[in-house]
Structure 1
Amino acid sequence: MAFGDRIIKLNDYLLKEAANKKPSFKIVKGKRVYEKSVPVYLQSVSALCNQLLRSGTSIGANNAEACNAITKSDFKSKSYIALKEARESLYWIDLLHRNGYLTDKQHASLYNDCEELVKILVHRCKKLDGAE
């Protein structure tokens, strides 16, 4: 749940930062005319943030579903989905960092937390595979 909270706050922060960049405009007849379309830089960060928001919050949701599973196979399935989403989140965190949306400090903190979730989920899934 705490990781999901961080992802939501990061999403809000990155979108706010991107929206605060100087808007594009042209001079038409001596007056500034701002572009009405969503700037490209806001479209790209928005798309990346959406991907991370979906995968990062899905980890906790699938873990909650696993913990409330009715059958062992349902528990296993949801655990593997949570692991898959955690690994996907690592990818999006790296991509945001590589493209300058996350500082080194932000990247390290988020990446380490997500990597810890991956380790926990890998351990759980290995135990489930060995229990069959």
Structure 2
Amino acid sequence: MKEALKKRTRKYAADCWNLCAKFPVSREYNAYCNQLIRCSSSVGANYRAACRAKSDADFINKLKIVEEEADESMYFLELMMEISDKEHAEIKRLHGEGNELLSIVVASIKTMRTRNRKS
């Protein structure tokens, strides 16, 4: 499961980068594209860090960062949908993928918290 999610988050970051490469180079687009590239790649980077956590509490804390970055990615995808009339199908697909990743991470956080309360 961990390796599959590592691969999936890496693909998400690459797909967001490829989306951004399709937009014109301008001060306005660059601001949003740079943010999207940063936060979408942070999803995978922080998930990898979570996989190397030293304790359950550390794991949860790192997953909370993944949660924030996935949500931020979705925000910038929503903005791009509003400001641009191109690539809507790809933006919607990436938004859906971001939402799925977010759901997985939130479920993992809840599972870990429940497990820790029982012990």
Alignment TM class, shorter chain as reference: 0.7 to 0.9
1:8 and 1:103 map into 2 onto residues whose CA distance is 13
1:115 aligns with 2:84: no
1:52 aligns with 2:36: yes
AA partner of residue 6 (structure 1): D
> Helix, strand or coil for the counterpart of 2:16?
helix
TM-score by length of 1: 0.76
> Helix, strand or coil for the counterpart of 1:131?
helix
1:68 Cα offset (Å) = 1.0
Counterpart of 2:15 in structure 1 is 6
Counterpart of 1:87 in structure 2 is 71
Q: Deviations over 1:38-73 (max 9, x none)?
A: xxxx00100000111111000000000000112222
- Following superposition of structure 1 onto structure 2, how do residues 21-100 of structure 1 map, counting pairs within 5 Å? 42-100=26-84
1:13 Cα offset (Å) = 2.3
Runs of 4+ more than 6 Å apart: none
For structure 1, which runs of at least 5 residues remain unmatched after alignment?
20-41
Q: How many residues matched? A: 107
Q: Deviations over 1:71-123 (max 9, x none)?
A: 22211111110011001111000000100164321221111111110110111
Quote the RMSD (CA, aligned, Å): 1.3
AA partner of residue 99 (structure 2): E
Q: Which structure shows the higher helix fraction?
A: 2
TM-score by length of 2: 0.83
Q: Is the 8 A contact 1:76 1:128 kept in 2?
A: yes
For structure 2, which runs of at least 5 residues remain unmatched after alignment?
1-9
Q: Which structure shows the higher strand fraction?
A: 1
1:94 and 1:101 map into 2 onto residues whose CA distance is 12
Identity rate, percent? 28
Q: Is the 8 A contact 2:42 2:69 kept in 1?
A: yes
